Amino acid sequence: MARRMLVAGNWKMHGLGADLGEVTMISMAAEKNRRVDTALCMPATLLHRAAAAAPGFDIGGQDVHPEKGGAHTGEISVDMIKDAGGALTIVGHSERREACGQSDGDIAARAAAALSGGLHVILCVGESLDVREAGNAVERVTSQLKASLPADPDPNRLAIAYEPIWAIGTGKVAGPEEIGEMHSALRGALSESLGAECADKVRILYGGSVNGDNAETIFAVDNVDGALVGGASLSAAKFVPIIEAAS
């Protein structure tokens, strides 16, 4: 089945008001590449202003709490993201899994809350270098995915991002064979959990040091339906070539 490509940026803890011109420029380039879905996941302080700086362009959060509200210092709710103009959120990024001790079950709850609240979700999975070198990457990441999936997700609003931890922000990119093997295994795991028809609609993104030079090779791999991009999403000069490579 032909799935639309999705290229999403993750600004992490980067960006001030002065950087919003980049969001506007990226949104204008996205407008010219309508065959590709494009989004930027912003720090909470910029969500509202980024949505205002790029009308019609998808802005998202970088995590979301499963509860509607309450005593959860430092967290953000589904309604807060929507109220700020957000349309999506990342869940399960390895930096959040590690820094906040989030379990697969926590991530499934976050994804479920976001989907039932109407957001699109990018759910991240990926292995450490130790796991990769021990030859257990496929087994570890497929079981991580199965344990992190919410029940009965809307496949049109769920994307999976395979992000090998050793490739994030390091300049090391997984090779096309490694990516192809993992994405095909993830498609299989989705099929076992959700049924083949549903699994076929879920986009599987690759993330880890994607840039304008390597994007085309990565996008040519079977079952790669786009990318989740960190460092190279911070400027239009670096992000737009990735969007163009997907279109």
72 annotated active-site: no
Let me know: does 136 contact 144? Beta carbons within 8 Å: no
Instruction: Tell the smallest beta-carbon distance from residue 10 to ligand PEP (Å).
Output: 5
Query: Is the separation of the CB atoms in 60 and 41 below 8 Å?
Result: yes
HSE on the CB side for 63, CA within 13 Å? Answer: 17
* Cα(244)–Cα(247) distance, integer angstroms: 5
Stretch 198-227 residues interacting with ligand PEP (CB under 6 A): 207-210
List the one residue from 169, 172, 213, 222 that touches ligand PEP (CB under 6 A).
169
8 binds ligand PEP (CB under 6 A): no
172 is in an annotated binding site: no
Other Cβ atoms within 10 Å of 44 Cβ, number: 16
Does 141 sit near ligand PEP (CB under 6 A)?
no
CB 65, min distance to ligand PEP, A: 20
What is d(CA 36, CA 80) in angstroms, rounded to the nearest whole number? 27
Cβ distance 128 to 166 under 8 Å? yes
Annotated catalytic residue within 22, 95, 127, 163 = 163
Q: Residue number with the shortest CB distance to ligand PEP?
A: 230
Nearer to ligand PEP, 76 or 194 (CB): 76
Instruction: Please say if 48 is a catalytic residue.
Output: no
Backbone angles phi, psi at 180, to 5 degrees: -60, -45
Catalytic annotation, residues: 93, 163
What is the contact surface with ligand PEP in residues (CB under 6 A)? 10, 163, 168-169, 207-210, 228-232
